[in-house]
A and B are shown apart, each in its own frame.
Chain A
Amino acid sequence: MKKEVLITFNHVIKKYDDQPVLKDISFEIEKGKFYTLLGPSGCGKTTILKMIAGFMEPTSGDILFEGKKINNIPANQRQVNTVFQDYALFPHLNVFDNIAFGLKLKKMPKKQIEQKVTEALQMVRLSGYEKREITEMSGGQRQRVAIARALVNEPKLLLLDEPLSALDQKLRTEMQYLLRSLQKKLGITFIFVTHDQEEALAMSDEIFVLNNGNIVQSGSPVDIYDEPINHYVANFIGESNIVDAVMIKDELVEFTGKQFTCVDGGMKPNEAVEVVIRPEDLVLTTPDKGKLVVTVQSMLFRGVHYEIRCLDDLGNEWLVHSTKRAIPGSKIGLSFDPEDIHVMRFNESEEDFDARLESYSE
């Protein structure tokens, strides 16, 4: 399928009172995919969303919608709808009138509005709730009304501004499934903003990890989880063990005083790097069989696994997720495979990172 670009950011900079919030950002959003902007509060993700929706203009740079510049087009003339964090449902209107709000503005015939609202309610599994007042609905139901109100306008792009943050864990998971299936079914592009990495990993086709007004890394959830570009991403996405290391040569790395074979390459000989090993990739074993020998500090039962915190002789902390138990105070061995070691260079740009991965994975 030909890739169709819906939104383009061209060197977009946004400043508030000379304080840069977005520092020269460029990216493309393709049609029909589920995107997530992921980052801590203040990283600029909501600013990007507001600029796409039309509530904010870039200080410099261009925003294109299907190739046309839309910097100055007001929000009410864009084919974009938003699901707000606090839902922003109109308290003076019932469920039907809330959802019909956009359609009535378009002067759509009454019959057609009724049909569309019924369909939208079906989509979010709220059939029969037309006459309910907003105040009579629970948080999860309001959330679904907000989604229906946005989707009923058939936007080309749906923006979701941390819409699940006010829901409890179970509802949240339910909504993740609902959103993902709605997106697949309707084929509308979704841009989802969140600070919750689990949400991002579960739903997205593509994740943009942001920090301090920059896009640090973009890619599929699997790519970002398995090949984080730097310490920040590795730490932000999932849990990780990060230690200082030296890249002796391609496919040989030294950390905790020992040398290990790995599958990374493309660095200078003896370059200082960092190494990430995910907690679930560390396997408990006896001290004599382990690649690392550590002392167990604590163990927590997490349901699916035990979370075991260990210290090696150099004082590095190692976090292990295992279905096996370990007794605090005892010495154990940790083993891992060469492909579990992921090497990260300091200050590597995304282009260089991608190019390097390309060169040695051939």
Chain B
Amino acid sequence: MKKLNPLWVIPYYLWLVLFVIAPVILIIGYSFLDIHGHITLENYQTYFGSGKYLMMTFNSVWYAFLITLLTLLISYPMAYFLTKLKYKDLWLLLVILPTWINLLLKAYAFVGIFGIDGSINHFLEFLGIGPKQILFTDFSFIVVATYIQIPFMIIPIFNALEEINPSLLIASKDLGATPWQTFYKVILPLSMNGVKSGIQAVFIPSLSLFMITRLIGGNRVITLGTAIEEHFLVTQNWGMGSTIGVVLIVAMFIVMLLTGERRK
């Protein structure tokens, strides 16, 4: 291969340094500063010492887990079904399409749908069940978050399923496997990398959702994302906000390690 002129690499290194390495170092640095700018371990003590933050962490992980699980349960069969369709690329495009719309717009749309005067409550009234509080519940938070994350789960699974050599499925049948056996002995293990990528793409952002927690969850669901926002924009305690950020970065690495491709 021809050797690249080293000058070409500079913009990419510059990008990495400015937008990846520097912010991470800044966050780590800030996490050791108290509100008056003195170096301290207080933030970490508060974080791990008070039940408030640990509860919040647990909440975030728990909701992110529920959202990821629900997304996976919906996306896997859907991706599998999509690969069987004749115009699968068109259908995939339709699945991806909502990601082109701004998150806020989608969130507001759900406010309209789930609201006391929204279409779902109209329907419930029609059925005689009467209006129910849907908006600002855990339920609506998880439903909307799942809806938003589904495309990010479907795409990697769809691609992994598409990559499976069809002759492997024929071979499995030839060796005596029923369709169900072929599924869990061949299709499922071979699409596992797609599932892992999907989990990475969904779980980590779900840990720090804050727009939806506010608009749909009505601040009843407090996650680490909401807490960070609070510290930076309201209480101006950048140190504490950064500490939570560091925790999220560590959590991200843990997830990556757990779901990463094992190299042989």
Chains A and B are bound partners: yes
Smallest beta-carbon distance B168→chain A, Å: 5
Partner of B175, one of A55, A101, A133: A101
Answer yes or no: B102 CB below 8 A from chain A CBs.
no
Partner of B174, one of A82, A89, A106: A82
Q: Which residues 77-97 in A have Cβ within 8 Å of B in the complex?
A: 77, 80-82, 84, 86, 88-92
Partner of B170, one of A84, A102, A105: A84
User: Can you list, as one digit per residue, whether each of A129-171 has a CB less than 8 Å from chain B (1) or not (0)?
Assistant: 0000100000000000000011001000000000000000000
A105-B181 contact, Cβ under 8 Å, with A84-B167, A84-B171, A90-B168: yes
A102 touches B168 (CB 8 A): no
Answer yes or no: B5 CB below 8 A from chain A CBs.
no
B192 and chain A: residue at smallest CB distance: A92
Question: A275–B147 Cα gap in the complex (Å)?
Answer: 75
Segment among B116-124, B183-191, B199-207 that sits at the interface with chain A: B183-191
Answer yes or no: A320 CB below 8 A from chain B CBs.
no
Contacts of A238 in B (CB 8 A): none
A88-B170 contact, Cβ under 8 Å, with A102-B176, A105-B176: yes
Answer yes or no: A60 CB below 8 A from chain B CBs.
no
Question: A104–B167 Cα gap in the complex (Å)?
Answer: 20
Smallest beta-carbon distance B219→chain A, Å: 45
Answer yes or no: B178 CB below 8 A from chain A CBs.
yes
Please report the total number of A residues contacting B with Cβ < 8 Å. 25
B169 and chain A: residue at smallest CB distance: A88
Answer yes or no: B264 CB below 8 A from chain A CBs.
yes
User: Can you list, as one digit per residue, whether each of A153-192 has a CB less than 8 Å from chain B (1) or not (0)?
Assistant: 1000000000000000000000000000000000000000
Contacts of A153 in B (CB 8 A): 175-176
Question: A101–B173 Cα gap in the complex (Å)?
Answer: 11
A88-B173 contact, Cβ under 8 Å, with A76-B178, A101-B185, A105-B181: no
User: Can you list, as one digit per residue, whether each of A230-248 has a CB less than 8 Å from chain B (1) or not (0)?
Assistant: 0000000000000000000
Question: A80–B172 Cα gap in the complex (Å)?
Answer: 13
Q: Which residues 234-276 in A have Cβ within 8 Å of B in the complex?
A: none
A105-B165 contact, Cβ under 8 Å, with A90-B186, A91-B190, A92-B190: no
Partner of B171, one of A80, A82, A106, A133: A82
Answer yes or no: B177 CB below 8 A from chain A CBs.
yes
Contacts of B172 in A (CB 8 A): 90, 101
Most buried by A among B173, B177, B190: B173
Contacts of B165 in A (CB 8 A): 86, 88
- For this complex, 15 residue pairs linking A to B, each with C-beta atoms less than 8 Å apart, are A75-B173, A75-B174, A76-B173, A76-B174, A76-B177, A77-B176, A84-B171, A86-B165, A88-B168, A90-B171, A101-B172, A101-B175, A105-B176, A106-B176, A149-B175
Answer yes or no: A53 CB below 8 A from chain B CBs.
yes
Smallest beta-carbon distance A358→chain B, Å: 40
Most buried by A among B168, B174, B189: B174
Contacts of A76 in B (CB 8 A): 173-178
Question: A325–B29 Cα gap in the complex (Å)?
Answer: 88
Contacts of A89 in B (CB 8 A): 171
Question: A106–B178 Cα gap in the complex (Å)?
Answer: 11
Answer yes or no: A338 CB below 8 A from chain B CBs.
no
Question: A101–B189 Cα gap in the complex (Å)?
Answer: 14
Question: A149–B264 Cα gap in the complex (Å)?
Answer: 24
Question: A149–B165 Cα gap in the complex (Å)?
Answer: 18
A53 touches B174 (CB 8 A): yes
Question: A92–B170 Cα gap in the complex (Å)?
Answer: 16
Question: A53–B175 Cα gap in the complex (Å)?
Answer: 10
Smallest beta-carbon distance A191→chain B, Å: 14
Most buried by B among A54, A77, A84: A84
